[in-house]
């Protein structure tokens, strides 16, 4: 099944309940989880007796005048002036239309526009929701602490950090070809909101470039924002940059996960290991080290397990889910 397609809510919940291993001891690390927000939506619906879409409309969107914002939990509903999303073709010019039937809400599923998001942003300075006042706003932006007392860099659905010496409160989003970024500089009462409907956009970078223009006199130009390059990431797994003699064919085959109740297939194509998921998704995986394939920088790693010299399965780390076990079936 494609991630763009409809999934029944109970089917998604059953999948979550089948998970057997935690990513880590709760509180030891921070990792964003759409599954948790999906279940939070279920809790809200249970307590309120309303679908999340109706609850949010009555308690959040209407009071703020956000008349063009909805939780899209029914994919047969029409959305006025809806913008569709696109992805750039890899081997030829042009774009593909990513037609999406996804309608699970909680971890996402909000349709809005720039004008409504401006109203949402302004509410952080003068809250009109609930009982009013800034108590709930302050709590939303309070940095979470790990078990060791250190900051996790995340609050209640908001990333609290700094950019070149200025405090930021931000979040990004991505699904299909949609990309978005909201970055608020609260002490300057300045925000950048960028929405895009093509997958090759980079609204996070563009947001900071806009801030560089409007806040140029306040930013600390000497503070550098660095991210690891692919070569640096690869060095982590293969520090001596060795050429490891491996027969890729030994990894090929079918692997079953009881937690997903699904089979992944590995095949050899052009002397590279290819992960095949269902009928549509094929991912070419570079080798990072012996028995380890994938892309650390995007959070996709396949670590193969052996009994003696025979491969018996692999563990999948997919960024927000780790240590997902697959058993080789043939």
Residue 19's pLDDT is 87
Give the CATH number of the domain where residue 251 resides. 2.40.128.50
In a shared domain, residues 154 and 239: no
Residue 159 parent element (H or E)? strand 159-163
Starting at the edge strand found earlier in the chain, the sheet holding 190-196 runs 159-163, 166-175, 178-185, 190-196
In a shared domain, residues 273 and 190: no
Residue 279's pLDDT is 75
Residue 53 parent element (H or E)? helix 52-56
Q: What is the 3-state secondary structure (H, E, C) of 192-239?
A: EEEEECECCCCHHHHHHHHHHHHCCCCCCCCCCCCCCCHHHHHHHHCC
Report the alpha-carbon distance of residue 64 to residue 297 in Å, rounded: 38
Range of the domain at 195: 9-214
pLDDT of the chain along its 330 residues, tens only? 577 888 999 999 999 998 888 888 999 999 888 999 999 999 999 999 999 999 999 999 999 999 999 999 999 999 999 999 999 887 788 999 998 898 999 999 999 999 999 999 999 999 999 999 999 999 999 999 999 999 998 999 999 999 999 999 999 999 999 999 999 999 999 999 999 999 999 999 999 999 999 999 999 877 655 444 444 444 454 544 475 678 999 999 999 999 999 999 999 999 999 999 887 678 999 999 889 999 876 778 999 999 998 999 999 998 788 889 999 997
In a shared domain, residues 271 and 132: no
Domain boundary among 150, 182, 214: 214
In a shared domain, residues 149 and 55: yes
Give the CATH number of the domain where residue 198 resides. 3.40.710.10
Q: What percent helix, strand, coil does the chain show, rounded to 5? A: 25, 30, 45
In a shared domain, residues 202 and 259: no
In a shared domain, residues 208 and 237: no
Whether 190 is in a domain gets the answer yes
In a shared domain, residues 120 and 192: yes
Whether 256 is in a domain gets the answer yes
Whether 220 is in a domain gets the answer no
Number of domains in the chain: 2
The closest alpha carbon to 195, from 64, 61, 81, belongs to: 81
Domain boundary among 214, 245, 272: 214
Residue 1's pLDDT is 58
Alpha helices for 141-202 (secondary structure H): none
In a shared domain, residues 34 and 139: yes
Q: Is the CA virtual torsion 258, 259, 261, 262 positive or negative?
A: negative
């Amino acid at each position: 099944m494609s991630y763009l397609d409809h999934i029944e809510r109970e089917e998604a919940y059953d999948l979550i309940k089948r998970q057997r291993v935690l990513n880590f001891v709760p509180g030891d690390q921070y990792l964003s989880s759409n599954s948790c927000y999906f279940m939070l939506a279920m809790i809200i619906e249970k307590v309120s007796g309303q679908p999340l879409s109706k609850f949010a409309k009555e308690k959040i969107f209407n009071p703020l005048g956000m008349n063009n914002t909805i939780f899209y939990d029914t994919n047969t509903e029409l959305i006025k002036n809806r913008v569709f999303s696109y992805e750039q073709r890899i081997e030829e010019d042009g774009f593909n239309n990513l037609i999406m039937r996804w309608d699970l809400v909680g971890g996402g599923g909000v349709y809005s526009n720039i004008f409504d998001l401006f109203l949402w942003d302004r509410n952080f300075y003068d809250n009109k929701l609930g009982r009013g006042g800034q108590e709930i706003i302050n709590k939303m932006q309070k940095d979470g602490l790990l078990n060791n007392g250190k900051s996790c860099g995340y609050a209640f659905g908001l990333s609290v950090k700094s950019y070149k010496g200025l405090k930021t409160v931000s979040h990004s989003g991505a699904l299909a070809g949609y990309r978005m970024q909201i970055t608020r500089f609260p002490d300057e009462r300045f925000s950048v909101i960028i929405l895009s409907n093509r997958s090759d956009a980079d609204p996070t970078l563009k947001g900071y470039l806009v801030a560089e223009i409007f806040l140029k006199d306040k930013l600390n130009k000497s503070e550098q924002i660095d991210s690891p390059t692919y070569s640096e990431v690869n060095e982590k797994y293969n520090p001596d940059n060795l050429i490891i003699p491996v027969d890729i064919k030994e990894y090929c085959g079918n692997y079953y996960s009881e937690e997903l109740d699904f089979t992944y297939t590995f095949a050899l194509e052009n002397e590279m290991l290819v992960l095949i998921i269902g009928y549509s998704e094929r991912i070419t995986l570079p080798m990072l080290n012996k028995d380890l394939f994938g892309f650390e920088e995007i959070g996709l790693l396949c670590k193969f397990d052996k009994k003696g010299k025979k491969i018996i399965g692999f563990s999948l780390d997919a960024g927000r889910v780790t240590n997902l076990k697959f058993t080789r079936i043939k």
